[in-house]
Amino acid sequence: MHSSAPAPISTPHLLPRHFLLALAVVAVWGSNFVVIKHGLNVMPPLLFAALRFTLVFLPAAFFLKRPAVSWTNLMAYGLFIGAGQFGLLFIAMRGHISPGVASLVIQVQVFFTIFLSMRLTGERVRARQWIALALAATGIGVIAANTDGTTTLLGLALVVLAAFSWAAGNIVGRNAGKVNMLAYIVWSSLFAAPPLILLSLIVEGPAAIKAALRAADATTWAAVLWQTIGNSMFGYGAWAWLQSRYPAATITPMALLVPVFGMAASTLLIGESFPLWKGAAMALVMGGLALNLLKRNP
């Protein structure tokens, strides 16, 4: 059974309660990069991603009915978000890119999402929104210009590809329509976990998988559960719900706050320094976001 996509809310501006929901999502996503770092200290990246989506699907699938969308839609979302975004991101973060830089680079998904939406649905991006995106992008550029050189070209390429997968998943999730988005995330994980498990067996090997599972302690499993419950079930469920109700150019710039939360979490949890340039970059990102959310004059 197919579900037609709903018309976006008539105003391009986020309602206050939806703004707070989006803010909670990006706070979870931002802090998640520190959590990923801890998990990857023990788990190989593909195994870590496979465990995440396996635990999203089971046991929740026994309690949540499959949403009224096509299997093709569920499969596309699971592959783009699971195997695409997080498979690539976790590989990159295992020694190829630092958590802070990863939280920055992944945000090119905002521009990929808007571009794909314009190409596929004919949405128009207003001049004010282009200015807002340019302002926020300047803030990201300030961050990029002050990295410590720990990022490799391979890491950058992998995260850019992960960002494109995230953007594609945004479009697929939006086309799912008004469905139970928690159930949608759960059932789409049916198509994320198997390819990740297979790739882990082929690339990382049974010996590495067995060793990682034996070495996993309470902190490692807490990282897996944070990926499962906080990041996937809440984060992507709420994000897909918002994507189905607003134009892409309205909701996706909220994700530009992810590196802001990512830097704050790194400072508080792992003692990363916070020089003046980081404060300036955060101000630019939040200024761009504020401009994007301002109501137009009547």
**Global pTM value:** 0.78
CA distance 39 to 48: 7
Distance (Å) of CA 282 to CA 49, 120, 294: 29, 32, 18
Return the number of other C-beta atoms located less than 10 Å from residue 25's C-beta: 24
Residue type at position 71: W
According to the model, what pLDDT value does residue 254 have? 81
- Residue ranges per structural domain of the chain: 29-293
Range ranked top by mean pLDDT from 38-52, 87-101, 257-271:
38-52
Q: What is the pLDDT of residues 148-204, one digit of tens each?
A: 666 777 888 898 899 999 999 988 988 887 788 889 989 999 999 999 999 999 999
The alpha carbon of 48 is separated from its chain's Cα centroid by a whole number of angstroms, namely 16
According to the model, what pLDDT value does residue 12 have? 60
- Angle formed at CA 12 by CA 6 and CA 17, multiple of 5 degrees: 85
CA nearest neighbour of 51 among 213, 294, 286: 213
According to the model, what pLDDT value does residue 241 have? 83
Q: What is the pLDDT of residues 27-62, one digit of tens each?
A: 998 889 889 988 999 999 999 999 999 999 998 899
- Angle formed at CA 133 by CA 129 and CA 136, multiple of 5 degrees: 140
Return the number of other C-beta atoms located less than 10 Å from residue 275's C-beta: 8
Average pLDDT, the chain: 83
According to the model, what pLDDT value does residue 268 have? 84
Do residues 101 and 177 touch, judged by C-beta distance below 8 A? Answer: no
According to the model, what pLDDT value does residue 297 have? 40
Q: Which residue has the tokens 């929740």?
A: 60
According to the model, what pLDDT value does residue 138 have? 86
What's the pLDDT band for 3 if we cut at 50, 70, 90? very low
CA distance 230 to 224: 10
Residue range 1-10: average pLDDT? 47
Residue type at position 145: A
According to the model, what pLDDT value does residue 231 have? 86
Do residues 282 and 139 touch, judged by C-beta distance below 8 A? Answer: yes
Q: For residue 296, is pLDDT > 80?
A: no
Write the burial class of residue 23 (CB in 10 Å: 0-12 exposed, 13-18 middle, 19+ buried): middle
Q: What is the pLDDT of residues 112-125, one digit of tens each?
A: 887 788 777 676 77
According to the model, what pLDDT value does residue 89 have? 94
CA nearest neighbour of 189 among 202, 174, 204, 173: 173
Return the number of other C-beta atoms located less than 10 Å from residue 143's C-beta: 24
Half-sphere exposure of 66 (CA within 13 A, CB side): 13
Share above pLDDT 90 across residues of the chain, in percent, rounded to a whole number: 35
Residues in the chain: 298
